[in-house]
Chains A and B, each alone.
Chain A
Amino acid sequence: AQRVTQPEKLLSVFKGAPVELKCNYSYSGSPELFWYVQYSRQRLQLLLRHISRESIKGFTADLNKGETSFHLKKPFAQEEDSAMYYCALIYNQGGKLIFGQGTELSVKP
């Protein structure tokens, strides 16, 4: 079955430190991978997706098919990055998003 795993429930870093939020997936085909973010009291929103290969708010994510990972990285964390981050995948070109359990990122001053 398709599954997304985010091993860290909580990740706490200091401002200016690098951050990496881990995401592993299980799917034998070629899924499309996403990172969604939910800031405090705001809606869940798309941060970035693999197919776009963009850098959003300084975040990047690289798809590693060998390791079935899609880790989210940022070289210098900011306090405003504190939020809940969800990794998700879609397969078979449909619209069904499969989410990981989420990682809460806390960036301390």
Chain B
Amino acid sequence: DSGVTQTPKHLITATGQRVTLRCSPRSGDLSVYWYQQSLDQGLQFLIQYYNGEERAKGNILERFSAQQFPDLHSELNLSSLELGDSALYFCASSDGGGFYNEQFFGPGTRLTVL
């Protein structure tokens, strides 16, 4: 599958814990985006990386951090988890980093915080 891949599919953890979500972009794509989808907030942009550098930031909590590695995969780290962090986390990728570039979405990671 040459599309965007995300691991794990599902993650169940407890409050106060830390988790790492992983995203591999489409082959050749330099930009990675992270979005959070929750029932109350809908789909919200978290952060964008382009070729290893942070390009844009949304309403990402200080407890959350991300990075893009030299092989262009990205990880989203969520720490001191709260019940309200339970959501579907999507990764998307595009070849460029601007609005001309179509974003291709991954299947998402469903995080449940108990």
A residues bordering B, Cβ < 8 Å? 32, 43-46, 49, 51, 86, 90, 93-102
In the bound complex, residues from chain B placing their C-beta under 8 Å from that of A97 are: 33, 35, 43, 45, 103
Which residue of the partner chain, among A44, A51, A93, A95, contacts B48 with CB atoms under 8 Å?
A95
Q: With A95-B33, A95-B55, A95-B94 in contact, is A100–B42 under 8 Å at CB?
A: yes
Alpha-carbon gap, A95 to B50, bound state (A): 10
B90 at the A interface (CB under 8 A): yes
Which residues does chain B contribute within 8 Å of A51, judged by CB atoms?
Answer: 100
Measured in the bound complex, the distance between the Cα atoms of B45 and A100 in whole Å is 12
Pick from B3, B50, B58, B102: contact of A96, CB below 8 A.
Answer: B58
Taking a contact as CB atoms closer than 8 A, the residue among A32, A44, A95 that contacts B31 in the complex is: A95
Other than A90-B99, A94-B97, A97-B45, give 20 A-B pairs with Cβ distance below 8 A: A32-B99, A43-B106, A45-B104, A46-B103, A94-B48, A94-B55, A94-B56, A95-B31, A95-B97, A95-B98, A95-B99, A95-B101, A95-B103, A96-B45, A96-B56, A97-B103, A99-B43, A99-B44, A101-B42, A102-B42
